[in-house]
A and B are shown apart, each in its own frame.
Chain A
Amino acid sequence: MQFLGRSLVILAAALIVVGITVAVSRPGLATRGNADFQQRGEFVQPPGREAAAESAAVPGGRQAERAGPHSGAHGRHAGSAGLFGLGEVLKSLVVVGLIVAAVVQGPRLEHWLRRNRNVPPQRPPADPIESV
């Protein structure tokens, strides 16, 4: 019961976020956004694709059957699985790793740099000719 109540609180918070998002993305803005994206060449669907999407908008959707791993009108989702897909996973892992390394090692690096800056520069050894 306690878990159910807490889950409902979390879902309510998510619902608030969704409500605000829907309110902010007005229909006019949505149309403009679509046009902008198509102008930039992103997410452009092939002519048959849109018609297929419309025809598949039937309850129970045959589109679900059609939407295999190789399909997708998401633009960046289009393409084939395989090495490139594995590359995407590695790319995300590297990005997260770099952020973690920067945040975790950042203060240590700063400390090291500060410590090195505070050390007075060593005097070069005296010129033996001049000292004579």
Chain B
Amino acid sequence: MQPARKQRNQNKLNLAVDSAIFVAFLVIMAPHFSGIAIHEWLSIAFGAAIVAHLLLHWQWLVGVTGRFSSKIPQSARINYLLNALLFIDITIVIFSGVLISESALPVFGIPFTPNGIWRMLHALSANLSLLLVGLHIALHWQWIVNVASRSVSIARLGHRRASQFTAAHMEKEV
């Protein structure tokens, strides 16, 4: 496969995974909408999705970590710090959520013990995650727009070519 095409496919995959993660995030942030059981199980799956997201961006992660103290663009440094903060925050949200879980934890045979600090931490870190996710998306907005518009234009081109091919084929048959 050509490198450009490979990169395009990788971008498409990243965008698809990221979009799914964002939709899951919106559902998780609305427990009234999903119900407590779905809220808890989806949050656990969300943790796995975050790991997948990090694995997909591993090269960037390793590259910036290695060159963090040396010369890298300021935007990359801000992005890295924001991502680190988001990782910490999401970890705290999921962990505190598991500790106050009413539906998921008893399935594993772990008793539910109500605790104020974990509830408070869960609420605070969840609210903070909304802000951090907003900033995370904002910093990657240009990439999102580029990949989405390129995917749409390629799909349109493919559709046009297919319809042209079909028209030519029909003319031949006639």
Is A14's CB under 8 angstroms from B91's CB? yes
From the candidates B39, B51, B54, B117, name the one contacting A30 in the complex (CB within 8 A).
B117
How far is it, in angstroms, between the C-alpha of A58 and the C-alpha of B113 when the chains are bound?
A: 11
Residues from chain A with Cβ under 8 Å of B33 in the complex: 81, 85-86, 88-89
Restricting to B62-119, which residues have a CB under 8 Å from any CB of A? Answer: 87-88, 91-92, 95-96, 100, 102-107, 109, 111-119
Is B30's CB under 8 angstroms from A67's CB? no
> How near does chain A come to B60, taking the closest CB pair, in angstroms?
13
Q: B3 contacts the other chain (Cβ, under 8 Å)? A: no
Q: A1 contacts the other chain (Cβ, under 8 Å)? A: no
Q: A109 contacts the other chain (Cβ, under 8 Å)? A: no
Q: How many residues of A contact B (CB 8 A)?
A: 65
Is A96's CB under 8 angstroms from B55's CB? no
Of the four ranges (under 10, 10 to 19, 20 to 34, 35 or more), the interface on chain B belongs to 35 or more
Is B55's CB under 8 angstroms from A68's CB? no
Q: B158 contacts the other chain (Cβ, under 8 Å)? A: no
B34-62 interface bits toward A, Cβ cutoff 8 Å, 1 = contact, 0 = none: 11111100000000000100110010000
> How near does chain A come to B10, taking the closest CB pair, in angstroms?
15
From the candidates A7, A13, A30, A64, name the one contacting B118 in the complex (CB within 8 A).
A30
Q: A29 contacts the other chain (Cβ, under 8 Å)? A: yes
Q: B131 contacts the other chain (Cβ, under 8 Å)? A: yes
What are 30 A-B pairs with beta-carbon distances under 8 A? A7-B55, A10-B54, A13-B87, A32-B117, A33-B120, A35-B116, A36-B116, A37-B120, A50-B114, A57-B106, A57-B111, A59-B109, A64-B106, A67-B36, A67-B103, A68-B36, A69-B35, A69-B38, A75-B119, A76-B123, A77-B31, A77-B36, A82-B32, A85-B30, A85-B32, A85-B34, A86-B30, A92-B30, A98-B134, A99-B137
The 4 A-B residue pairs whose C-beta atoms are closest, nearest first, are A69-B35, A61-B106, A34-B116, A85-B33
Question: Which B residues fall within an 8 A CB radius of A?
Answer: 25-27, 29-39, 51, 54-55, 58, 87-88, 91-92, 95-96, 100, 102-107, 109, 111-123, 130-131, 133-135, 137-139, 141
